[in-house]
Amino acid sequence: MLFLSRFFEIRDIVAPFRTHAEMVVPYESLDPARNALSGPWLHRGAAPHHAHGALRTGGRGVLRPVVAEDAPVDEAAPHLRPHHPELGEQPVRFQEDEDLGHHHDDPWRRNIHVALRSAGVDVPGGLRRFPGRRPGGPAASGMSSRICQGRKGEEMTGLKNCTVSVFGLGLLGGSLAWKLSRDGAAKSVAGWSRNPETVRRAHEMGIIGRPCATAEECASLGNVLVLAVPIRSMEETGLRIRPAAGSGVRAVFDLASTKTEVGRKLAPLWGSRYAGFHPMAGKERGGLENADPDLFDGAVCAVVPFENTGEEALSLAEELAEALGGRPLRTGAEEHDAAAACISHFPVLVAASLALLAGEEMEDHPLVPLLAAGGFRDTTRVAGGLPELGADMASTNGEQIRRLAGKYRAILDALLAASPEELEALLARAARCREAVLAGKGTLSRKRG
């Protein structure tokens, strides 16, 4: 009888997981540094024929290694062996007793839980933890093993079961909402804009599923709030929606291209739920009419923590980046602003100065517009962007821009003073620098792959 009793206890623990559809992901998609997926999910049986190892997940995105029958253990993703007990190198570590569910007071059942979790089964009552993985850290792309509390107390899993509320439906906000709606990456997408006509069109186009007449209504619906308003309106919008945001809000992100000053204003409002989020993508033309659900494909998405930012907000930001088709990169606010000034903000002013110069020159030299071609078009492209966006970037990142302007003048003076031989060498060096900067964009993928 004791044996039968124990048998049914095991059955009761395991049974809920039999009904979940399984998925298989090639090891190549796994980021060994974070035990997280960087590539797309593949349904079982769709893994490439050359993939000896894979990860199988049950219904809540919990992963466990699966080695093909014809693959020796030493060939099955050797870089993962230290991370997974099924490959025989290192046992899974857990949190304290609360991580083992409400049966931790029963040693026999505790051992069952440990055994099941070592096999990759997510046992109710706590979160499974891999070595080097913080509780609540990032999980699979588009999925998460973390439990979140919804607005009415229901259990939800990751971004896919959260309502995302987007404030501002221009190029970035509209593209983000469209991507999430199209791919079903969120439970629902609510949207608000200062222009009611924009909200109406976004709803008709399927960009948002829940149109909101007011920012307060939009805030009351969301678990994840995304501020995609102009930089100068970030603080005002944050103050406006803060009283309406409910206890179900898990994360608040801004899409501003500058972070230090914006974060200084928003972080005190939202505490641990706030993080900066900056997808490095865009067009010179803004507005909902230019929105594109594929705008963020392959883009680096800067995830910027502040002093009190919680791990859950950061994990959701990384999950959002991956849902958008981008690549998350954690960085500090000051470092972000220094780099963004160099490759985004200052170039806008350089392009604008060249366009202004050409405008002045064409008055005295009518041939200027007739000869303008690809070189002028390419070097002045970002000067055709929204003037208010450029002004906001310059006003909120002025210190970094002025620092670069001083260096830029010195480099320009050196080019002008150089002999032909020296100039040739400097131009060759410039070409190498350009190639190095553009090639560096791919290093994030190599580090994550």
Helix (H, G, I), strand (E, B) or coil at 118: helix
Instruction: State the number of CA atoms in the 13 A half-sphere of 80 facing the CB.
Output: 30
Q: Is 108 helix (H, G, I), strand (E, B) or coil?
A: helix
The pLDDT score that the predictor gives to residue 183 is 97
Among residues 247, 177, 255, which one has the least CA distance to residue 219? 247
CB atoms closer than 10 angstroms to residue 75: 12
pLDDT, residue 60, reads 33
Secondary structure of residue 188 in the 3-state scheme: strand
Which amino acid, residue 99? D
Q: CA triplet 140, 146, 148: central angle to 5 degrees?
A: 130
Contact 197, 219 (CB under 8 A): no
Q: What is the pLDDT of residue 208?
A: 98
Q: Give the model confidence (pLDDT) of 103-115 as tens digits.
A: 334 444 444 444 4
Ranges under pLDDT 50 in the chain = 2-4, 6-156, 449
Q: Are the C-beta atoms of residues 449 and 38 closer than 8 Å to each other?
A: yes
Q: How far is CA 55 from the centre of its chain?
A: 22
Q: Which residues pair with 277 in a beta bridge?
A: 303
Domain with CATH 3.40.50.720 in the chain: 147-331
Query: What's the fold here for domain 336-417?
Result: 6-phosphogluconate dehydrogenase C-terminal fold (1.10.3660)
- pTM of this prediction? 0.64
- Alpha-carbon span 254 to 275, nearest angstrom: 7
pLDDT digits (tens, 9 = 90+) for 335-348: 999 999 999 999 99
pLDDT in the model for residue 385: 86
Which one-letter DSSP state was computed for residue 345? I
Identify the CATH assignment for 147-331 out of 3.30.420.40, 3.50.40.10, 3.40.50.720, 2.170.190.11. 3.40.50.720
- Structure tokens of 111? 């051992």
pLDDT for the residue 14: 43
CB 153 within 8 A of CB 127: no
Contact status, residue 190 vs residue 123, Cβ threshold 8 Å: no
Phi, psi (degrees; rounded to nearest 5) at 256: -60, 150
DSSP 384-430: GS-HHHHHHHHHHSHHHHHHHHHHHHHHHHHHHH--HHHHHHHHHHH
Strand extents, DSSP E, 75-143: none
Predicted pLDDT at 253 = 99
